[in-house]
């Protein structure tokens, strides 16, 4: 099978797998990440085939919705690629991307390095910030039944992952826990440029949010 046929087939497979997923993690998230990854790749020397497969398969099974099991996604992706007779090297690279893409709290040490991973990771992070990132955060917060904001729980309060999970942490806290930190974690020059725009947009959103909360604006 040629590469563009396999990409089309992967798109069909991913759409089918994600058809019951929640709004922030649905096929459209994958499509945006795929588009971001293609755009970033234009300015990088990389294997576009691996970038595309990595972007399409990166959230094929999210551990958050699979009892914390982080092995399911890579396993499903590998099985799919093996069934399509993709070469061993490409399969291993794509699986490494899926296993290493996640932002893990304060631990930014990646076990695997490649420009293709850098690109897909940037593409995924871009979708967590800016207007879409704001929408996804509140969508996720709603899914978890979290309050939007609580002035008595400081948004700047740093909690451990466990404390955060068990708390009534409002969605606004997630901006300080993760979203506002992402612009400094970008790998590629293109990713950094887009992230900065989206970061400034979130800062404007937050100032307006607090002003409206106080009845000032
Ligand atoms: P990704 O799809 O980029 O790998 P995640 O799986 O970590 O990201 O999260 C999916 C979306 O849900 C992201 O937009 C993220 O910001 C948001 N999200 C994750 N955890 C929280 C949270 N505790 N509160 C609000 N939004 C969250
Ligand atoms: Ni994602």
Domain with CATH 1.10.472.50 in the chain: 1-105
128-217 has which fold?
A: Methane Monooxygenase Hydroxylase; Chain G, domain 1 (1.20.58)
Structure tokens at 145: 């039944």
Query: What CATH number is given for 1-105 in this structure?
Result: 1.10.472.50
| 141 Cβ closer than 6 Å to some ligand 1 atom | yes
The span from the CA of 138 to the CA of 9, in Å, is 32
Tens digits of pLDDT across the chain (217 residues): 799 999 999 999 999 999 988 766 899 999 999 999 999 999 999 999 999 999 999 999 866 666 677 789 999 999 999 999 999 999 999 999 999 998 543 445 668 999 999 999 999 999 999 999 999 999 999 989 999 999 888 776 666 667 666 667 899 999 999 999 999 999 999 999 999 999 999 999 999 999 999 998 6
3-class DSSP state of 107: strand
pTM: 0.91
- Ligand in nearest proximity to the CA of 102: 1
Q: Is 112 in contact with 92 (CB distance < 8 Å)?
A: no
Among 28, 137, 182, say which to mutate for ligand 1: greatest number of ligand atoms within 8 Å of CB: 137
Domain with CATH 1.20.58.1910 in the chain: 128-217
The span from the CA of 125 to the CA of 23, in Å, is 17
CA neighbours within 13 Å on the CB side: how many for 183? 17
Question: Cα-flanking dihedrals φ and ψ of residue 149, to 5°?
Answer: -160, 150
Distance 92 CA to ligand 2 centre (A): 19
Residues near 183 by Cβ (< 8 Å), separated by ≥ 6?
129, 192, 195, 196, 198, 199
Q: What is the DSSP letter of 18?
A: T
Distance 43 CA to ligand 1 centre (A): 27
| 130 Cβ closer than 6 Å to some ligand 1 atom | no
| 61 Cβ closer than 6 Å to some ligand 1 atom | no
């Amino acid at each position: 099978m040629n590469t563009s046929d396999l990409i089309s087939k992967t798109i069909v497979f991913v759409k089918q797998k994600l058809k019951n997923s929640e709004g922030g993690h649905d096929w459209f998230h994958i499509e945006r990440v795929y588009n971001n990854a293609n755009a970033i790749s234009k300015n990088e020397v990389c294997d576009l085939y691996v970038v595309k497969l990595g972007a399409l398969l990166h959230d094929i099974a999210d551990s958050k919705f699979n009892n914390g099991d982080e092995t399911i996604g890579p396993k499903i992706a590998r099985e799919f690629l093996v069934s399509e007779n993709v070469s061993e090297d490409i399969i291993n690279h794509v699986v490494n991307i899926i296993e290493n893409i996640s932002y893990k709290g304060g631990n930014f040490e990646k076990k695997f390095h490649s420009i293709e991973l850098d690109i897909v990771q940037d593409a995924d992070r871009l979708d967590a910030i800016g207007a879409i990132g704001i929408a996804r955060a509140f969508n996720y917060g709603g899914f978890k039944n979290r309050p939007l904001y609580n002035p008595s729980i400081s948004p700047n309060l740093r909690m451990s992952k466990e404390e955060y999970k068990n708390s009534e942490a409002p969605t606004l806290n997630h901006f300080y826990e993760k979203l506002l930190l992402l612009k400094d974690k970008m790998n590629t020059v293109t990713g950094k440029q887009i992230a900065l725009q989206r970061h400034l947009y979130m800062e404007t959103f937050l100032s307006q949010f607090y002003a409206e909360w106080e009845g000032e604006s």
